[in-house]
Structure 1
């Protein structure tokens, strides 16, 4: 019946496989994949009516504590499969996967916090102005091996210096990263290259640019695929920003442009710099909300260990021409390739929340025609005036988000208020937790 209704018409490979179940998934506020496995014979019903989940999942922290939801009696939400996202999971034979949108369980129920819905909303707002936002995400991650004898119970998958851009068994002994890249490429996910990154056992899989919602879906699926395939191989994959004190961190960079009438609205061949006022306004909008955006782009306690000088991660709200020490880099390509790159993102960021928040900030700049200040030149870490310093802790970033009424109204109180509550709970747990550093520093001597 599914095939007759055309649900398996895309991609074609679904018709050639013995699909036994469909994994219906969605992103929680952390960016973690949640969902249910549905037997193939039940998927028609799930596609029509959706699947019920306790909505408290959207207000639960990473230590399994429901922070938000009890005050409403822990009601349900409904995950409605978006059939256009139906695809195979090559690493799990017989399993297909479909991304869901989140809806209230009834017309009188409160709308749930829906990260993917926030991207839809941001895209629709740009479309009202005649623009189509395009995004190209870049993600880095570490691969580790469980080892009870190692610090924190893990060691790095490959632990040799100067492996950056090395390929083959030396850099990926089990071929895990290559397998993920090939599998996602076959599914039309836009993966076009992979490499060992600069840090020991750090990797990057490149995704092509695409319409903003598609790009966010791809980034969400990439993170899930990396963690699943690593687990199949007995490894642990982490997008945590800075998991090791002796290594740099993993970033999540976002490239943005706006299409208008089948052309790039960020390009202007008559401008001395080759970029349009629209690009400048978009960039100014992001910088105007840089402090609040940091909460979504660097959503963990750990993320702020990465935002330090000489890390290729920004420390101030600024922009520059092809400058990797700035918050926003304007790459050198022009014409159809004109774009902005936001470099502050941490690997742990939720692709949907980060994409939506950046688009809404850029939209504010475009709507209000916000002026763009001068660029930074050279090494922004050493300048006397590199711009306003970014928050140096999650607590500071949350305060900035709470105070940013433009971004809060755009993202919606369901998302922002729940995010703030969960993350403030995380900050407080961290404040009262005795760390290994404290024990090593004080226990023997004091």
Structure 2
């Protein structure tokens, strides 16, 4: 159909940035949900050029799902959006398949028309169980409830910023084709910080950064990473649920931009052996009344005793939560000490092989950095694990806990055993969700060789939760 007959919303990147930053500020100030809901519904009603609202939610493994609702239908029926949960991995069984989607109106984004299509906006959904409460396998909802509880009970605001690395490969759907090609092809071999203006990697980074900026990410820096065709695009801190949402949007934007360029953005932790893998270093701090509780100019490494206890709890449960932070067979290729891998369960200001690093900071930026996280992990599971463990976990009596000779698993089977056997993961997720998550990871692992070996196997890509293809899984 000719575009001249359509009148769909298409805003400049500057207009998009203004709208998204204003919405972000509302979220930051905790404007009442009913106030934001009324404002968004009025906007959707009045703005005739919007045709559809894309509602997104994440399954138990962190894979993003999208549903497009006709705008007029959504405005009338936003409080009764049902869907078949049995079709979502890790959600309900077929006999109890009906779930509902609520709308988190504070998590509302205006999107660039050239990337996502004209006349659309994105909003995050909340999965609601048949009793009207947060669905236990929707870890976004669980994280949101935990963050709200911490604010109401202790006055804590949980903050996070994630450094998400990925690879850019030649060809569309390079991951889904891996079982046929057996290889990934780099688009650039320049390496760390080096990419000439106008080459494919630089064009991809520039375009992605522009989209992020338009969507209110508040970018900080972007650059090629150590490995060939590897990238990292950094943006500012956010409150914990907003930060997790931005991880999902970051990966969605990267994949969409890459596809439009005829390439693939991959967040497999170690898609190519012999070069550095990709991580998702997770920077964490907690504020109260605007004060950073992790800062102490007189403390060890200039962080507070409160922060060190937070670190000690994460170190205590490092093996328990490893499967949540490193969620795929491929993740355990990355935890290789020969490539700056953070596989040591210790804390350090300087050793980048440590699971937890204490970066140089000041009153504003003091934080702890959990370095062992893979970029394919469910971001809501990651941040729930880090914050709930850091605040409520146990502290081991292991001598010299912060520097003890302890290591993360080098294979998913050990990680699965640790996860299943740990009492803490039952406290963290509940027995039912814990069992569902472990069963999903076991199913992927059982489709792959027990030993990783030196070559990336097609099965660890083909049966990866992010690459999931029903046709290929059915051929096992």
TM-score of the two chains, using structure 2 as the length reference: 0.79
Change (3 A) 1:340 1:110: closer
2:143 aligns to what? 119
Task: Name the counterpart of 2:441.
Answer: 423
Aligned: 1:37 with 2:59: no
In structure 2, what is the Cα distance between the partners aligned to 1:337 and 1:360?
21
**Shift, 1:294, TM fit:** 1.0
Greater Cα offset, 330-339 or 162-171: 162-171
Distance change (3 Å), C-alpha of 1:293 and 1:16: same
Quote the residue 1:393 is aligned against: 411
1-side partners of 2:282 and 2:218: how far apart?
15
Aligned to 2:40: 7
Q: Work out the CA distance in 1 between the residues paired with 2:308 and 2:398.
A: 7
Is 308-317 or 161-170 further displaced after alignment?
161-170
Give the superposition deviation at 1:293. 1.6
Task: Render the CA deviation track for 1:202-236: whole Å, top value 9, x for unaligned.
Answer: 11111211111111111111111111222222211
In structure 2, distance between residues paired with 1:149 and 1:353? 28
Aligned to 2:158: 133
Give 3-state SS (helix, strand or coil) of 1:172's partner. Answer: helix
RMSD between aligned alpha carbons?
3.3
Once the two structures are superposed, residues 34-63 of structure 1 have per-residue CA deviations (whole angstroms, 9 ceiling, x without a partner) of 12111111111342223323244132xxxx
Of 302, 310, 333, 1:282 maps to 310
Q: Distance in 2 between matches of 1:436 and 1:336?
A: 43
CA–CA distance in structure 1, aligned partners of residues 71 and 414 of structure 2? 47
Q: Is the 8 A contact 1:281 1:370 kept in 2?
A: no
Give runs of aligned pairs for residues 395-410 of structure 1, distance below 5 A. 395-410=413-428
Match of 1:95 among 114, 120, 132: 120
Q: After the TM superposition, which residues 122-161 of structure 1 pair with which residues of structure 2 at under 5 Å, given as runs? A: 122-127=146-151, 128-146=153-171, 152=181, 155-161=184-190
2: CA distance, partners of 1:151 / 1:291: 35
Alpha-carbon shift at residue 257 of structure 1 (Å): 0.7
Aligned residues: 415
Instruction: Give yes or no for contact 2:107–2:242 (8 Å, CA) kept in 1.
Output: no
CA contact (8 A) 1:317 1:390 kept: yes
Partner SS, residue 335 of structure 2: coil
Distance 1:38-1:321 versus aligned 2 partners, 3 A rule: same
CA distance in 1, matches of 2:369, 2:450: 37
Whole-angstrom CA distance in 1 between matches of 2:373 and 2:428:
20
1:138-188, CA deviations, whole angstroms, 9 ceiling, x for partnerless residues? 101111122889982664352324353435213626x22211211121221
Deviations 1:81-104 (A, max 9, x none): 211112122112222111111111
Match of 2:352 in 1: 324
Q: Secondary structure at the match of 1:182?
A: helix
Equivalent-residue separation in structure 2 for 1:278 and 1:8 (angstroms): 42
In 2, the alpha carbon distance for the partners of 1:76 and 1:4 equals 24
CA contact (8 A) 1:284 1:372 kept: no
- For the 8 Å contact 2:244–2:379, the answer to whether it is kept is yes
Query: Measured at CA, do residues 189 and 434 of structure 1 come closer, stay the same or move farther in structure 2, by a change above 3 Å?
Result: closer
On the 8 A contact 1:171/1:196 being kept in 2, the answer is: no
Distance 2:406 2:396 in 1: 21
Whole-angstrom distance in 2 between the partners of 1:438 and 1:26: 30
In the TM superposition, 1:47-446 aligns within 5 A as: 47-59=78-90, 69-70=92-93, 73-90=95-112, 91-92=115-116, 93-106=118-131, 111-127=135-151, 128-146=153-171, 152=181, 155-166=184-195, 168-170=197-199, 172=201, 175-271=203-299, 273-365=301-393, 373=400, 375-376=402-403, 387-431=405-449
Q: Is the 8 A contact 2:295 2:363 kept in 1?
A: yes
C-alpha spacing 1:153/1:40, structure 2 compared with 1 (3 Å)? farther
Structure 2 residue matching 1:292: 3-state secondary structure: coil
Question: Is 1:116–1:352's contact at 8 Å kept on the other side of the alignment?
Answer: yes
